[in-house]
Amino acid sequence: MTLSHTKTIPILFLFVFFTHVLAKNLTDECVLDVQLSSDCKTANWDGFFSTDCCESAFEDYLSALSKHTNQTGSIFLNLIQQQTCRSSLEGSNGRNLLSCGVEKLTSGSGSCSDFTLTDVDNKLESSLSSLDQDCEVLESRNDCSSCLERWKKIGALTMNSSVEETEICRFALLVSMVSRKISDFKWVQAVYQCLGQHQISFRLDQSQNLEDDNHKHKKKRTTVVVILVGGLIGIMIIIMALWIWFRRSVAGKLPMGKVDMSVIRSPFPKEVSTKLTVRDVYAATNDLKASNFIGEGNAGKVYKGVLVNGQNVAIKHIVNDGEMETFVREITSLSHVRHPNLVRLLDHCEGEGECFLVYELCHWGNLSEWLFSKDKVLTWIQRLHIAIDCARGLWFLHTYPGGCIVHRDIKPTNILLNVNFQAKLADFGLSKIIDTGLSHVSSEVRGTFGYVDPEYQKNSRVNPSGDVYSFGIVLLQLLSGQRVINIDLQRPMPLGKMAKMLTRDGSMTEFADPKLNGDYSFKAFECMINLAVSCIGMKQQRPSMEQVVAGVEKALDISIRDRSLTPSFSSDTV
């Protein structure tokens, strides 16, 4: 069989598969358990509707959507689910949900439209907590005013966003909040009455935007079927193009489902590669047994295992074709790069539809487990040693002779601790290499919420200062034992903002992790918090990782001197 014939088979299979899924979903019943009210009420949720009499039906829809969210974790329906529900519900009572704004609450357009409950908790945690608190008691007009004012302020959630993007973020918060109290019917109705019957102006140009919305609604009513079919055809074309491109660029002329491993293997020194097979990997992990699962990285789940030679290893299992780039990037980044503070990549192998990366095992887990667990405690000296180890690893990456390597995802879960409690940076799936002589490369914004450099978010330029910012946040967590947003406060506050405020007020000791029990050098703590704050400052004012290493080593020297004078310091043992 020729190569072109082998490419045609999976493409035809995908086409048949998607056609089957489309046909199935179009005939499925609505996933929402809802009966729309036929009452005609005139509130329009601040112009969210283009016609009158939508209030009751829209709020019934919101309640059903919130119940669905409570059961599934998904916030909004996808396009096919939405179309199925609209067709089913409009046929039952004649209500035109399209004109009631429901089509704007559809997943697939990016940003908040694709959020799950977990995403809202992680990325909009502060806004969700504030909205929930201000809308908790709704027994009078004054109570409603607090809830309504908070609803207005959420308009500033996404800077430089369109009205449509802001609306879907606000409703993602609302659905998430209501889903957690869906059984409290009286409270839910009070929230809807409060927010739905008031005029809220969160954009100066709102009237023009609403007029544009009305025009879009009319146009969408006549073209929704065309969009559905055309969109699916477009998806198929994109899939076909990506399939062909990927196989030509990565797989060369190998049979489908294979990667040219000879090209990828070439960077490994002969003494490093153990030439593992997929069978060896499954034997080492007892067929990927659940009890051997130890975590999850950017591209796949990680299992502990024991090779035939008795070596303990950590094995990342990658099964998504879309993560093949991560597979290749980690091999390319780590195959030549060796440093005591970088997790060591031992080998890799590939099977049908799956890939494996084999690393040294770090027995003490990741830093996050030690910082945020109630039954694990890190001493002050241990925290400084961990900070030095990580800083040295980043310094090495940023000054690598073959080009500056930017990690792009520095956070506690990507800092592993080996049997000697030495810290090692892990998970290079998002890393970028900047050629010598260049100051940056442009790339889509990637990373973890709370650790991503705000300047990188604005200009999409990857450079070492982004890692410095992320490491500054990690330093603050080492000092405080807090997560990136402190939800224990009456008004949740980002960790960086809290550190700057306490530093400015001279109340640094309030920032210290209670688990330290005051057992640390105040002078060293002051050095560390000032260093961390400088790391998260303006890009041009941030230190290099070489300077960061020197700063943490200085704090360690101070701590050792103070400990010799004050024997109250605890032992460094785990």
Q: Give yes or no for a contact between 468 and 543, defined as CB atoms under 8 angstroms apart.
A: yes
The pTM is what?
Answer: 0.54
What is the full DSSP assignment across 217-266? HHHHHHHHHHHHHHHHHHHHHHHHHHHHHHHHHTSTTSPTT---HHHHHT
* The token pair that represents 237 in the structure block: 């074309």
Task: Check: CB of residue 495 under 8 Å from CB of residue 484.
Answer: yes
The two structure tokens encoding residue 386: 């961990």
- Is 409 an annotated catalytic residue? yes
Task: Say how far apart CA 538 and CA 535 lie, in whole Å.
Answer: 8
3-state secondary structure of 348: strand
Name the active-site residue from 409, 427, 453, 513: 409
pLDDT at 50: 59
Q: SS3 for 176-201, per residue?
A: HHHHCCCCCHHHHHHHHHHHHCCCCC
Helix and strand element counts for the chain (H, E): 19, 13
CA dihedral 429, 366, 125, 31 (to 10 degrees): 70
Q: Which pairing describes strands 345-351 and 354-360: parallel, antiparallel, or unpaired? A: antiparallel
Sign of CA dihedral 338, 298, 446, 330: positive
Say what the pLDDT of residue 231 is.
73
Fold (topology level) of 261-360? Phosphorylase Kinase; domain 1 (3.30.200)
Look at phi and psi of residue 571 and say left if phi exceeds 0, alpha if psi is from -120 to 50, else beta. beta
Distance of CA 276 to the CA centre of its chain: 32
Domain boundaries, the chain: 34-216, 261-360, 367-565
Token pair 């405080």 is found at: 480
Digitized pLDDT (tens) for each residue of the chain, 574 residues in all: 443 444 444 444 444 444 444 444 444 578 888 777 666 766 667 667 656 677 778 888 888 888 888 888 889 888 778 777 777 766 555 455 655 777 788 887 777 888 888 888 878 877 888 888 888 877 665 568 888 888 777 765 444 455 667 788 888 889 989 988 888 888 888 888 888 765 443 333 333 343 444 444 445 554 555 677 677 777 877 777 776 665 555 433 333 333 344 434 434 444 445 478 899 999 999 999 999 999 887 668 899 999 988 999 999 998 765 555 656 666 666 667 889 999 998 888 888 778 888 999 999 999 999 999 888 999 999 999 999 999 999 999 999 888 899 999 999 999 999 989 999 999 887 888 887 667 667 777 788 889 999 988 888 889 999 999 999 999 999 999 999 876 666 667 789 999 999 888 888 889 999 999 999 999 999 999 999 999 999 988 999 999 999 999 999 999 999 887 665 554 444 3
CATH tag for 367-565 (out of 3.30.70.20, 1.10.510.10, 1.10.10.10, 1.10.260.40): 1.10.510.10
Chain centroid offset of residue 46 CA: 31
The region, left, alpha or beta by phi > 0 then psi within -120 to 50, assigned to residue 410 is beta
C-alpha span between 475 and 254 (Å, rounded): 47
How many Cα atoms within 13 Å fall on the side-chain side of residue 93? 15
Contact between residue 96 and residue 51 where contact means Cβ atoms under 8 Å apart: yes
Pick from 386, 391, 307: nearest CA to 346: 307
Residue 54 and residue 60: Cα distance in Å, rounded? Answer: 10
Q: Is the distance from CB of 335 to CB of 347 less than 8 angstroms?
A: no
Six-digit token string for 185: 């019917």
117's enclosing H/E stretch is helix 117-123
